[in-house]
Amino acid sequence: MSDLQESKRQATVEHLVRAATRALVDRGLDATVDDVAQHAGVSRRTVFRYFATRDDLLAAAILAGLPAFDANLPQHDRETDWRAWVSALCDVIHGMNSEVSRMLWDLMTRHDKSEVLAAAAEEIDSYRRKRNDNVAVTLWRALGCTGSPAAGLLHTVNAHLSPFFTMAVIRDANGDRALAAELAESAIVDAAERYRTQHAAMG
C-alpha cells in the first residue's frame, strides 16, 4: 500500500470513528451500523470495509476519546491556587461526563456487552480510576502533605468525579453539569481541608 493510499485509509477510519462517536452520544450502545453510516454519509458496505464488526467500530470510538479527555484536563502548577484548580477540574470533568452520559451509562451498567465492548469498558474504568488517583495525589501534594493521600480523600475524589455522580445530579436532583461540578467541588474542597488538618495534627 502506497503512502497516499494509507493516508486515505487512515482519514476514512478517523471519519468513521468520529461518526460512531456521534452515534454513541445519541443512542449509547444501541447505536447501529446504519446510524454510523448516516452520520458519516457513507454506505454500510463502506463501514464494514474498514471494521469487521459494529462492536469493533464502537470500541474504537470509545477509546479514541481518551487522549482528548486527558488533553482537556487542567493541570496544577505552583502558580495555581489548589481550590481554583479543583474548581476548573470539576467543571471540565462533569462537562465531558454529561456530553457522553448515555454512552457511559450503557458501558458501565449493561451486562449484554460483547467481549470487545467489555474490554473497552474495562479500559475506560481503569483510566478513570488512575486519573482520579492522580488527582488525589496532586491535590495532596498541593496541600503540602506528604506520603500517600488520606483514604477518605481518595474516596471523595473518586466518588465526586465519577460519571455516575454527574448522572445522579442530572437525573435525580433535576440538575445539570454546572450543579454537578459545584457539588463535587464543594465536597472535594471540604474533604481536602479536613484531611489536611488531620494530617497536620498527626505530625
State the average pLDDT for the chain. Answer: 93
Q: How many CB atoms within 10 Å of residue 37?
A: 20
* pLDDT tens track for 89-117: 999 999 999 998 889 889 888 999 999 99
Q: Exposure pattern of 89-113 as b/e (b: 16+ CB <10 Å)?
A: bbbebbbbbbebbbbbbbbeeeeeb
pLDDT at residue 148, as a whole number: 95
The structural domains of the chain, with segments of one domain joined by +, span: 1-64, 73-203
* pLDDT tens track for 144-178: 999 999 999 999 999 999 999 999 999 999 999 99
Structural domain 1-64, CATH architecture: Orthogonal Bundle (1.10)
Q: How many CB atoms within 10 Å of residue 133?
A: 15
Closest by CA position to 64, among listed 37, 92, 24: 24
Please tell me whether residue 53 adopts helix, strand or coil conformation.
coil
pLDDT at residue 1, as a whole number: 63
Cβ–Cβ < 8 Å for 103, 28: yes
Torsion sign across C-alpha atoms 44, 49, 53, 58: negative
Torsion sign across C-alpha atoms 176, 164, 98, 103: negative
Enumerate residues 6+ apart whose C-beta is below 8 A from 135: 89, 157, 161
